[in-house]
Amino acid sequence: MDLRYSEKDEEFRADLRTWLEREVPAHGAPPPVNDWPARRAYDTGWQRKLFDAGYAGISWPKEYGGRDGSPTEQLVYYEEIARVNAPYIGVNFVGMLHGGPTLIAEGTPEQKKCHVPQILTGEQVWCQGFSEPGAGSDLAALATRAEVDGDHYVVSGHKIWCSFAQAADYCELLVRTDPEAKSRGITWLIMDMNSPGIEIRPLRTLAGEGEFSEVFLDNVRIPVSNRVGKENDGWRVKEVTFRFERGAAFASDMIHLKQFVSELVDLTRRAPEGPQGWNDRALRRQLGHFSAELDALWAMVKLSVCESSKTGIPGVGASAVKLFYTDLYQRITEFGVRLLGRAALSRDDVAGLPSERILARSMQALSLTIAAGTSQIQRNIISERILGLPREPRPAPPPRPAVES
């Protein structure tokens, strides 16, 4: 597929740019990070503006309210929203970037009709309920149990690192429906977050934000009709979710990272002398390497978007995109901290240096190498499924207790 921008793409860019330059300033500044009612109103308000203008769900089918646009229009969209620093997708992250796409690929017609248009308009906010205290990287060890009672699943268990749970209407939830099987005993469910039996306990991150929560489930009843895929088929369905999450979900963030490197260049030019200034040849070479790596990363995103347009789902190479992006993000922010020198000891701006923002990015970079599957998990996927190397030895399962006759 030719991913060069056509005349039609540039017309789309011009219209989108004009709209963004008018609407972004009008939407105002975002509210404080931990004011969740205000954040939900701000983020969903922006989502509604995108929908009304025809810019929500660029590649989503028209029958669900999307634009049915081309892969190149999707790429132009990412570039333009990053260029004007448009409001972050925020609480709509899970629904727009992997929950909704998973429903389009795997949901029933009723599930798509009920949820996909409402995600696009911002009327439905989704969270993710995959990880558990004993099942993070080893997701197949999850223990949250679901048992069938009539036409409902009854779910009990404990989820952790649930993104945006305190602002969500629905949750993409993984549960165990076969206690005897491991990965083949898991099911993917849509959980209404207003159901009785749900307790949410926010977690505070290193950066002081409360994006994540623990979610405790006590006999929560979920209709069987909310199951996505077949019972015990959740391992395969979550792979679809992960490919969307790891493929293009961070695309606009990658462009923001490129802008961040430009800011680091400006920072070094403000202090031209000395080991942290622009006259340092090694420092300039490092900044050049970062720019080249970001160009390579964007080419990988284009490939992922191209694959997704052919099959409806990003390829297994999404793991390579995620691994490369999070590793590069961490190296660039560590470089920024070194540029700050002693100013990095303060979270406030010191001597006119942007210490607060650089340190915030540095702390966020630590979590990105864990979120959506750790870097170690991504390396296993790349080695086994892309390079065809032998599988990593798995520990033998514990012996089953003897049954007395």
Active site residues: 245
Contact status, residue 369 vs residue 328, Cβ threshold 8 Å: no
Q: Tell me how crowded residue 108 is: count the other CB atoms within 10 A of its CB.
A: 14
Task: Give the three-state DSSP class for 270.
Answer: coil
Phi, psi of 6 (to 5 degrees): -90, 175
Contact status, residue 69 vs residue 59, Cβ threshold 8 Å: yes
Distance of CA 49 to the CA centre of its chain: 22
**Buried b vs exposed e over 229-251: b needs ≥16 C-beta within 10 Å?**
bebbbbbebbebbbbbbbbbbbb
Q: How far apart are CA 255 and CA 18, in angstroms?
A: 19
DSSP code of 400?
P
- Quick one: which of 14, 83, 46, 9 has its CA closest to 255? 83
Helix (H) or strand (E) holding 22: helix 7-27
Q: How far apart are CA 268 and CA 273, in angstroms?
A: 9
Q: How far apart are CA 154 and CA 171, in angstroms?
A: 15
Cα dihedral 65, 69, 73, 75 in deg (nearest 10): 70
Structure tokens at 320: 């390579």
- Long-range (24+ apart) CB contacts under 8 A made by 58-62 are 59/308, 59/309, 60/100, 60/101, 60/104, 60/116, 60/120, 61/104
User: Letter for the amino acid at 153?
Assistant: Y
The DSSP bridge partners found for residue 212 are: 163, 203
Structure tokens at 316: 């297994």
In terms of DSSP H, where are the helices of 99-250? 100-106, 109-121, 234-246
Token pair 């017309």: residue: 11
- Quick one: which of 140, 218, 223 has its CA closest to 189? 223
